[in-house]
Every structure is written in structure tokens, then in C-alpha cells.
Amino acid sequence: MGLPSILRPRKRNTTTPTSEKHASTGPSTPTSRPDYQTGSDTIPQETLRRVTKTRRIFALTASIAYLISWVFLVLVLIGNTYPRAVLSDIYFFKLDLSDIIPLSVPNARLINSIAQSIGLHDFYQVGLWNFCEGYINEGITFCSKPETLYWFNPVEILMSELLAGATIALPTEIITILSILQITSQIMFGFFLTSAILTFLYIFLSPIATKSKWWSLPLSIGAFINMILVVAASIVGTVISLVFKYAAEAQKELNIKSYVGTKMFVFMWLAAGFGIVGFAVHSGMGCCCVSRRDVTTGRRTLKPDGQGVQRKEVEVR
């Protein structure tokens, strides 16, 4: 006997309409995907390396620039210290006294030979630490002992090498600039040495700038000081060499020739140029390029795909 339809148990509809199902579930997303928008320390290291790649490249560029600058500074420091093939060609200026008496003077060759016999050398060349002397046919025969804060005093050196009672007239221009030469030479020495130390340290300190833009502030200040030191030292070295060349050749009664050391000039200005590059890179990283701290603190948020960064959105109410 069948029950009335009203008493029959009805089957509950357990299926969800398609539209409601789609509305409730929404787009499928994997549950294991990390939240890139939080800016927390849980961001994968691979992702951090990817988004800070530009900053790391610039930091590496700065390190390479300082490495090259340091190599040239070392060449400036060790130039003319010992009578060796390479070092002997690195000097600031060179005085040629081989024909100190002009050939127009009667018996000039005889007088020049006498000058050599009483102790006068054919040439004197000056480096940062000392001077070297020698003869044209023999090359360098002696280099003075390297001395801290060295400055080249031509009067003292020439008088000490001549026989007792012998004298030689020097251009008044050279004597006038001796006091200035001493001060500027010692300043140049200190600047080059300090810059070489700072440049060496910056080879290893530059990568620290990848961590935070705050590190770029002290690094930029130090890089600016280093740039000033190496540029100022290069300017002083250039001026001293050119002024000495002018003063030595100004006296026409004496046939003194002076030559500027091309290799020394190239090395010190290349060192200065790469020092400027290092400062420019550190200054740029102070305001540009995403750092690790920008991401981990949430100031720069990762895009949903984790492939880049974007500025943190501020909610306006």
C-alpha cells in the first residue's frame, strides 16, 4: 500500500547550482603559494635576489671601479722607488742636466764633462717617495731611500753631490718655489696614501649597499671624501710637474731640460676617474634601485606574480 505523497520522504538536493558554485569558490589558487604582498622576512631568498638584481649589479660595478682605481694608485705609490724596468718609467718629472752648459758656449762639451766628473749626474727623476739619478748611457745608477712625506729639494741634492767648494747656479724660479713645493708635495703624498687605503676598503664595502639605502648614505660620504682626495692629489701632482718644468726651462743661460712623466700622469688620472665612477654609483644607489630592506619592510611590495616590485599602495578613506 503506497503512502500518500505528502508523507513520502523527499530527497534533499545536494547539488549546488553551477553559478553559485563558481561564485563561492572563485578563481582557483594554490594554497601553498606564499603571500608576496606582506613584505615579511618569509619572502624566498631567490625572489629577493631577483628583485634586487639591479642594485647588486651597481654595487658590483662600484667594487670593480674601486679595484681598478686601487691598482693604478698602487702604481703611483711604487713608481720610481727602485731602479727596475717598469718602476723607473713612472715618475712625476725628470730633470735633464746632461748638457747644462749650452753648446753655444765655447768648450761646452768640456765643461759638461767636468760637471759630471765633480759629481753632477745627467738626469734626476722624482717619484712620490724618493728620487733617482743616473747617466744617459748607463741608465739609473742610484735611488734614494723611500721617505715618508718626501719632497724633492734640487738645491740640497745637487750641492751634496758636487765636490767641496764647488757650486752651480740654479734658476731663481726654482729657488722661489721650493717652500711651496715642500708643502704641496707633502699634501699630495698624504692624499694619495689615504686614498689608496680608502679605495682598498671600498672594494669590499661596496656590496653592503645592497642591504639598505641607509647604507648608501655613509658609503656615499666616504666615497665623496675618497674622490676629493684622489682628484686633489692628481691636480697637485700635475701642477707641481708643470710648474717645475716651466721654472727649470725659464733660465736660458743654463740648458736644463725637464720632462713630465706621462705614465705617472695617466695612472693617477685613471685612478681619479674610477674614483669618480665609484662615488657616482654610490650616490645613485641612495635614491634608486630596490634594496633588500625595501622589500622586507614592505615599503616596496612584490607584484602578485613575484616577478617585480611596486610601490606600497596607501589606502585612502
Could you report the per-residue pLDDT of 91-145, keeping only the tens digit for each? 999 988 877 655 555 555 655 566 565 667 888 999 999 999 998 888 899 999 9
Higher pLDDT, 24 or 194: 194
Residue labelled with grid coordinates 648608501: 216
Question: How far apart (Å, rounded) are the C-alpha atoms in residues 200 and 287?
Answer: 25
Looking at the DSSP assignment, which residues form a beta bridge with residue 93?
A: 126, 260
pLDDT 10s digits, 278-294: 999 988 877 766 555 55
Lowest mean pLDDT among 33-42, 191-200, 243-252, 285-294: 33-42
Nearest to 218 by CA among 233, 206, 200: 206
Other beta carbons less than 10 A from residue 122's beta carbon: 21
In this predicted structure, the answer to whether residue 229 has a pLDDT above a threshold of 50 is yes
Amino acid at position 316, single letter: V
The residue with greater pLDDT, 153 or 200, is 200
> Which candidate, 210, 153, 143, places its Cα nearest to that of 181?
153
Average pLDDT, the chain: 76
DSSP state of 279: H
Q: Is 251 within 8 Å of 171 (Cβ atoms)?
A: yes
Quote the pLDDT of residue 70: 97
The mean per-residue pLDDT over the stretch 62-90 comes to 93
Q: What is the pLDDT averaged over residues 19-39?
A: 46
Q: Are 314 and 298 in contact (CB under 8 A)?
A: no
Residue 141's CB: how many other CB atoms inside 10 A?
12
> How confident is residue 304, by pLDDT bands cut at 50, 70 and 90?
very low
Grade residue 149 by pLDDT with cuts at 50, 70 and 90: very high
Between CA 104 and CA 267 the distance in angstroms is 39
Q: What is the pLDDT of residues 103-113, one digit of tens each?
A: 555 555 655 56
CA 281 – CA 264 distance, rounded (Å): 26
User: What pLDDT is attached to residue 255?
Assistant: 73
The per-residue pLDDT for 189 is 95
List the one residue out of 48, 46, 55, 32 whose CA is nearest residue 309: 48
Question: What's the pTM value of the predicted model, to 2 decimals?
Answer: 0.73
Sign of CA dihedral 86, 87, 93, 98: negative
Report the share of the chain in percent with pLDDT over 70.
61
CA distance 61 to 104: 58
180 confidence band (pLDDT: 50, 70, 90)? confident
**What pLDDT was estimated at residue 109?**
60
